[in-house]
Structure 1
Amino acid sequence: MSERVVPEDSRQRRRPTKQGAVLSEGLIVETALRLIAQHGADALSVRRLGAALGADPTALYRYFRNTDALLLAVADEMIGRAQEGWTPTGDWRTDLRAMGLRIHACYQSNPRAAALAAHRTTGRPHEKRAVERILGILRSAGFPDALAVRIYHAFVDQALAFAAQDAAALALPAAAQEKEAEVWNAVYGKLSADTHPHIAATFPLLAADMRESGYPFALELMLGAVAALRPERRNS
C-alpha cells in the first residue's frame, strides 16, 4: 500500500465482496491474520488481500492508509485476543501471571504474526485496555506509581520478548525445527565430562528442559522479584 488519505465519512463500503461479505476493518484484519499465517510478511499487500477478500484492492484504502497501518491493526488484534475471557481475581500475582501467559499463548497461536507485530506499539483500543488493566493491577496492589510503571515496562517487555522468540522458532520450517532440536543430542550430548563437566552432568535435564519455552519459569522469577519490591504495609 502507499500513503493515501481517505475522508472518514468515505471509508465504509456497503456493497458485498465477491464472497458475499460486507467489507469492514474487522474482516480485513481477520483475513490479514489468516494470510500471514500462510505466507508471512508477503501477505500484507493490497493485491493479495484484495484477492482473498474478493474486493478491489483499492477498497482497502478506505480503512487503512498503508500496510503499516494494517500491521498495527493486526498487532492490536493479537493483543485483544490475548485478553479475551480474562477477568481479574483481585490477587495481583494471579492476575499478572494469567495476563502474561495469555499474551505468550496468543502469540504462539499465530507465530508469523507474532514475529511481525510483537515489537510494535499500536496506540489502538486493545493495547490501551491492556496497559490500563496491567497498571490497574499494580496500583491496586499498593505499588507506588513510579514502581508500578517500571514493573509494567519489564513485565510487558518480558512477555513480548519471549513471545517473539518462541514464535520465531515455531515459524521455522518443520525440517529446520527438527534440525534445531537435534543439536542438543548431536552436539551437547556428545561433550566429554573432561572438557565440559557441567554440561555432561546436567545433559539429560538440559535437553529435556530446552524442548519447552523458558517463559513460564521466567515469569515466576519476575513475579517473585516483584513481590519482594512490594511495600511491606500492603504485603499479603
Structure 2
Amino acid sequence: MPKKVVPEAERRRRKPAKAGGVVLSERLYIETALRMLQEHGRDGLTVRRLGAALGADPSSLYRYFRGTDDLLLAVGDELAGRALRGWTPTGDWRQDLRELGLRIHAAYLAHPQAAILTASRVSGRSHEIAADEAVLGVLRTAGLPDAEAARVYHAFVDQALAFAALDAAALALPHTARAADEAVWQATYARLPAATHPHIAATAPRLVARMNTSAYPTALEMLLDSAAATLARVRAEGGVVPGGGEGGGEGGGAASCSGCSG
C-alpha cells in the first residue's frame, strides 16, 4: 500500500538545522541525492556521504527522512514533479497523453542512476499523486468509462516507467560498454547472411537505424492507438455522456485536469 503523504512542512523541524552556513531542508537533501547518484551511483548514496557532501552531521538526514530508502522515494517523486512542471492540458486527449508520457520518460532519463532505483517504486507523495490525477483526468475527460480509464492508465504509467528504467540502464553503463553494445547491430546483425537468417538480413538496415534509439515513442503511439480504438468502441456503444464518464454507470462525472500541473 502507498505510504501516507506527509507534507514537507510537517516533516521539517521548527528551526531548520544549519550545516556550514547552509540551511538544511528536505529539498536540499533531494537535490544533493540526485547529484550524488549521478556522480557515484547507488553506492555513493549513504548517510555518511550525504552528511559529508552537505557539511552536516550524518544524523541530520533523519530530521527529514526515515532513511536513505525514504529519501529515494522522495527523489522519485521529485522526478515526477519535474515531468509535470509547466504542463497544462490542451483538451486534445491524445496530444495531452503523449506529452505527459514523453515528459515522464525524459525526466527520468535526465537522471539515469536515479531512474534505475526509483522507476519501479510507489511513493504516494504529492507529485506522484498529481501525475496520476493528470493522466486519469485526461482519460476520463476524453470519455473513457472508469474501468477502461483505469486499464489504460495502468498500461500507460507502467509503459512510461518501464522504458525509463530500460533506457536509463543503458545510459548508466560505462561509455565503453555502451559503445560496444551499440556496435553489435552493425558489426554482427548487419552481416548475418540471408541464407541462414533471412528475416534479420531483410530488415538489418532498418534494425541498425533503429535499435540504438529508444522504442518508447513508437510504443507510446501503439498504446494511444489502442486507447483511441477503445474510445471509439465506447462511443459507438453509446456509453459516453458529454464531457466524459459513463452514462448511467459508475463515476458518471468527468474528472477535470485543471490544476494537475503539480
TM-score bracket for the superposition, by shorter chain length:
over 0.9
Give the corresponding residue for 2:256. Answer: none
- Structure 1 position 174 matched with structure 2 position 175: yes
Give the corresponding residue for 1:105. Answer: 106
When normalised by structure 2's length, the TM-score is: 0.83
Return closer, same or farther for 1:10/1:25 CA change in 2, 3 Å cut-off: closer
Identity %: 61
SS of the residue corresponding to residue 11 of structure 1 reads: coil
Give the corresponding residue for 1:74. Answer: 75
Q: Could you list the per-position Cα deviations for residues 159-209 of structure 1 after superposition, in whole angstroms to 9, with x for gaps in the alignment?
A: 000010000000000000011011112211221110011111111111011
Q: In the aligned structure 1, how far is the partner of 2:229 from the partner of 2:152?
A: 12
Give the corresponding residue for 2:18. Answer: 16
SS of the residue corresponding to residue 97 of structure 1 reads: helix
Contact 2:108/2:115 (<8 A) preserved: yes
Contact 1:15/1:22 (<8 A) preserved: yes
Which runs of no fewer than 5 residues in structure 2 stay unpaired? 1-9, 243-262
Give the corresponding residue for 1:118. Answer: 119
Q: Could you list the per-position Cα deviations for residues 19-48 of structure 1 after superposition, in whole angstroms to 9, with x for gaps in the alignment?
A: x32000000000000000011111321100
Contact 1:36/1:43 (<8 A) preserved: yes
CA RMSD of aligned residues (A): 1.5
Which runs of no fewer than 5 residues in structure 1 stay unpaired? 1-7
Give the corresponding residue for 1:214. Answer: 215
Structure with the bigger RCO (C-alpha within 8 Å, sep 6+) is 2
- Structure 1 position 224 matched with structure 2 position 225: yes
* Larger deviation, residues 9-18 vs 149-158: 9-18
Give the corresponding residue for 2:245. Answer: none
Stretches (4+) displaced over 6 A: none
TM-superposed CA distance for 1:11, in Å, is 3.1
Contact 1:108/1:114 (<8 A) preserved: yes
- Structure 1 position 201 matched with structure 2 position 206: no
Contact 2:25/2:64 (<8 A) preserved: yes
- What is the letter of the counterpart of residue 72 of structure 1? L
Give the corresponding residue for 2:47. Answer: 46
Contact 2:109/2:168 (<8 A) preserved: yes
Q: How many residues are aligned here?
A: 227
